[in-house]
Amino acid sequence: MATKYKIGFTRPALIRETVIVAQLYNESKNWAQVKAEISRDNMLQTRTARSSEVMLGEIQKRLSLLTDAQIELIAADFPQDVRQLVWIAICKQYPFIGDFIVEVVVPALTGGRHEIGQDDYGYFFNSKADHHHELEEVSDKTRSNARLAVFQMMRQCELLSESNQMMPQMVSSALQNSSPESDLAFIPGAIRL
DSSP string, 112-167: T--B--HHHHHHHHHHHHTT-HHHHTS-HHHHHHHHHHHHHHHHHTTSB-TTSBBP
In the DSSP assignment, the letter for residue 103 is: I
Q: How confident is the model at residue 192 (pLDDT cuts 50, 70, 90)?
A: confident
CA distance 31 to 22: 10
For the stretch 15-67, pLDDT in tens is: 999 999 999 999 999 999 999 999 999 999 999 999 999 999 999 999 999 99
For the stretch 96-116, pLDDT in tens is: 999 999 999 999 999 999 999
Domains and CATH numbers, the chain: 15-192 (1.10.3540.10)
Beta bridge partners of 171: 192
